[in-house]
């Protein structure tokens, strides 16, 4: 391998590594204008933001999402923290506006029972349906074999055996 080819492979590998690191690292979605001047408050804001669901992405926290709504929620979290709210008050403020769905770990209460127990209920229903299917399959009776007379008559009808002149 020539020196130039090794150099190109090294550059391509470095570029691939940088792209992978940029895509995989959290926090790249936080915009510079969102970062608070006080590092302690910024740590609190990120801790609260990591517990809130992006309502657009639905599978990411607002800190991991680059959706506009996630940006708005991050700014709202920072505003509430600057206003002197505790972390619990900030979450309660956002939950009051968006509901428990905005929490990545919703509380266990009657309104969220389906969310918490729904998957287990679906597994039980699927297991019951599978058991009923296999039980019904086992209960179906095997067909009774034909008698010798029925077998002979079928063979005659199919033309496999010459007809018997005595048969009606």
pLDDT in tens, 27-67: 456 777 778 778 898 899 999 999 999 988 878 899 888 88
- Give the Cα separation of 104 and 30 in Å (integer): 19
Residue 146: DSSP 8-state: P
Assess contact for 83 and 44: CB atoms under 8 A: no
Q: pLDDT at position 23, please?
A: 47
Neighbours of 158 (CB within 10 A): 8
- Give the Cα separation of 104 and 52 in Å (integer): 6
pLDDT in tens, 105-120: 888 889 888 878 989 9
Assess contact for 80 and 89: CB atoms under 8 A: yes
Q: Mean pLDDT score of the chain, rounded to an integer? A: 82
- Sorted by sequence, the CB contacts under 8 Å of residue 148 that are 6+ apart come out as none
- pTM (2 d.p.): 0.55
**Sole residue written with tokens 């979605």:** 29
Closest-CA residue to 72 (of 29, 43, 104): 29
Confidence of residue 79 (pLDDT cuts 50, 70, 90): very high
Q: pLDDT at position 12, please?
A: 67
The pair of structure tokens assigned to 23 is 């895509």
Which residues share a beta bridge with 61? 53
């Amino acid at each position: 391998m020539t020196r130039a080819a090794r150099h190109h492979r090294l550059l391509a590998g470095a570029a691939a590594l940088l792209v992978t690191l940029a895509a995989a690292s959290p926090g790249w979605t936080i915009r510079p204008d969102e970062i608070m001047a006080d590092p302690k408050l910024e740590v609190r804001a990120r801790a609260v933001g990591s517990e809130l669901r992006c309502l657009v992405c639905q599978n990411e926290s607002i800190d991991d999402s680059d959706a506009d709504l996630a940006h708005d929620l991050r700014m709202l979290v920072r505003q509430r923290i600057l206003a002197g709210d505790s972390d619990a008050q900030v979450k309660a403020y956002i939950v009051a506006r968006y509901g428990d769905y905005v929490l990545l770990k919703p509380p266990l209460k009657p309104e969220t029972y389906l969310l918490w127990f729904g998957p287990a209920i679906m597994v039980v229903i699927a297991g019951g349906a599978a058991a009923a299917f296999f039980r019904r399959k086992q209960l179906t009776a095997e067909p009774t074999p034909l008698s010798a007379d029925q077998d002979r008559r079928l063979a005659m009808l199919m033309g496999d055996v010459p007809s018997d002149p005595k048969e009606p």
